[in-house]
Amino acid sequence: MLAHSYKFDNSRVDPTGWLMSEKLDGMRAWWDGHKRRLWSRQGKPIHAPAWWLESLPSGITLDGELWLGRGKFQECMSIVRRQDGPQTWNQVTFVVFDAPESATGYEERYSKAKEALEEADASTSQQQYAWLHPYAICNGKEHVKSKLDEIEEQGGEGLMLRKPGSEYKGGRSNDLLKVKSARDDEAIVNSHETGRGRHGGRLGAVHVTNRAGKSFKVGSGFTDAERENPPPVGSVITYRYNELTNGGTPRFPVFVRIRPDVSAADIQAADSS
């Protein structure tokens, strides 16, 4: 279940009564407690060590985020993408926010996830590497704004708003909204453009297409190392931008990072929907 963006200036949604939580900057993951396997959003196996997986509950499916902490996305990815299950997994937490197959309404699914995690905790003396993501009941737009300011001042990425009683749906849903001050999105890298001047002989810009089907280039935000080893063609990047032109193209896009946890198929599916 993926989120749409919430915009204060033109959203018709009244968030009063919605469930509000911090948006985590980690890697989305799916725990199959029946087969005791951890999967990425694209259905690829995640090679967590056995001692880490032992703390997760059996007999339930959980949706969550592998998280290292605020501002540590790249560090987290460098750990969880390895296939040898390094000891550094002891820094990673599986933050659970849903139990998709347990019940119809979100609050009931959340309760099922809580029960499963508490039972797993009680059944072992080992350190727990999974915890339930807390939420608060939203009191309105001003509550969203004040909480967003608080989270961003602490180095957080933003907020998530979830409609109470909502069912779990595959793909993007209007029942789940992300709230951020900075505008950003993902795009597929189509090609590289060679730089000039101080960037001669290395990356100058990437030509991309976003989930709205708009094609443009991103030439700023790259470090020297990233220009020497640019995002591969076919990969997905996150970019920030100021606003959209009248034609819907991002103005002044800036590269943020590569997104190995998002597939090109996700972007193309949004474009065709």
Which of the residues are catalytic? 23
Token duo for residue 183: 């505008």
For CA atoms 177, 44, 258, 52, the dihedral sign is positive
* Structure-token pair, residue 225: 């190392």
* Residue from 218, 188, 190, 216 nearest 204 by CA: 218
Partner residues linked to 29 by β-bridges: 40, 64
Query: What is the C-alpha to C-alpha distance for residues 22 and 161, in angstroms, rounded to an integer?
Result: 9
Burial 27-61 (b: 16+ CB within 10 A, else e): bbbbbebeeeebbbeeeeebebeeebbebbbeebb
For the beta sheet containing 61-67, the strands, ordered from the edge strand earlier in sequence to the opposite edge, are 37-40, 27-32, 61-67, 93-98, 130-132
